[in-house]
Structure 1
Amino acid sequence: MATTYELIIYGKVQHVGFRDRIENIGRGLGISGVVYNYKDGTVRILANFDDEEIKELFKKSIKALSKKDKLIEIERIEERELNTYIEFPEGINRISADDLIELNKKLDEGVKYIKLIFGELEGHTKILEKIDSKLDKLNSIDEKLDKIIKLLEQKL
């Protein structure tokens, strides 16, 4: 008989596409349950497991997400066995209290990363401008050297 567990994931796990990844892992492993953002900044999963190996593989797969996706940072996962069995629809399904608020938070998070990327590009642009300026000076020096060489060749 399956047992229902609560998994609490701490870290930078909200508004970074984490729940979608959890759903995909859960479906791939044939796990039924729900995943949702909690007000304290954690992501919580209620899921049924009838096999300890599947539960451990699920947790291991979740932890691996922070290695594959730089937006996701998992600090730790707490596990708690519930003293009940909850029958969920097939697969892991997302619960969202307010999709519009969730969308706005994700957009705000995306803007931070866009600004970060453009800030890095701006720094590179300044470096490229300096290099271009130095190349212009080198070209000018090169032209002057060519003139000096021609003058010397004419005198010889």
Structure 2
Amino acid sequence: MIRVEIIAGGDVQRVGFRDAVWKIARNLGLSGTVQNLEPYDVSIVAEEEEAALKEFVKAINIQAGPIRVQTLKENWSATTGEFPYFKILRGDWQEELGERFDVAVGLMRSDLHENANKRLVRIEEDIVEIKRSIRELGGAATRRDAETQSLCALSTLRFYSATNSFFYFFGYDY
């Protein structure tokens, strides 16, 4: 058994990093702690076999969502056996609650961005389909049958519906 003490720097506070570290440590069977370190870093102490700790160090170098680890300062030493399991050392409850809200807002923004992108892709696909249909029908200006009018009305409705949703999600009033 061996011990590693790590100071993680970057965007690691108020983004759910400690929870991610806890989950990784738990999955690897590590013991130790993770806690915020004033003003911006996170302190991690972990004990286990060297191979598991090396895997752990690689896994916590997270570059996903709002978490952006820029530095991992490692200090390896002999194990102390002081930890029965891995846990998050929490601070003041008001700070912790604020962090939870920050994480929730970040996840909602991420989800909103992803859904907006899906809607824009759908709009682009609809436009391609409209153009293809108009070419097949010989152009809307030369052929005014019921099928062409229905297709144009449906496509326009889809476009405006998607546009309204997009602007509504982003809080624009147009």
Which bin holds the TM-score, normalised by the shorter protein? 0.5 to 0.7
Secondary structure class of the residue paired with 2:138:
helix
1:124 to 121, 135, 138: 121
Question: Which runs of 5 or more residues in structure 1 are unaligned?
Answer: 146-156
Aligned residues: 138
Equivalent position of 2:32 in the other structure: 33
Amino acid at match of 2:18: R
Amino acid at match of 1:6: E
Q: Which runs of 4+ in 1 moved over 4 A?
A: 51-54, 142-145
**Higher Cα Rg: structure 1 or 2?**
1
In 1, are the aligned partners of 2:2 and 2:76 still within 8 Å (CA)? no
In 1, are the aligned partners of 2:14 and 2:99 still within 8 Å (CA)? yes
What TM-score, normalized by structure 1, do the two folds share?
Answer: 0.64
**Pairwise CA distance, 1:55:** 3.6
Amino acid at match of 1:92: F
CA shift digits 1:27-55 (9 cap, x unpaired): 34443221123343332213346x55544
Secondary structure class of the residue paired with 1:104:
helix
Amino acid at match of 1:135: R
1:113 to 85, 103, 110: 110
In 1, are the aligned partners of 2:46 and 2:53 still within 8 Å (CA)? no
User: Larger RCO: Structure 1 or Structure 2 (Cα < 8 Å, ≥ 6 residues apart)?
Assistant: 1
CA distance in 1, matches of 2:103, 2:32: 23
- In terms of mean alpha carbon deviation, does 11-20 or 27-36 score higher? 11-20
Going from structure 1 to structure 2, the CA distance change for 1:105 and 1:142 (only over 3 Å counts) comes to closer
CA distance in 2, matches of 1:30, 1:117: 34
2:135 to 130, 134, 138: 138
Secondary structure class of the residue paired with 2:60:
helix
Question: Which runs of 5 or more residues in structure 2 are unaligned?
Answer: 144-174
Equivalent position of 1:62 in the other structure: 60
Give % identity: 24
**Pairwise CA distance, 1:106:** 0.8
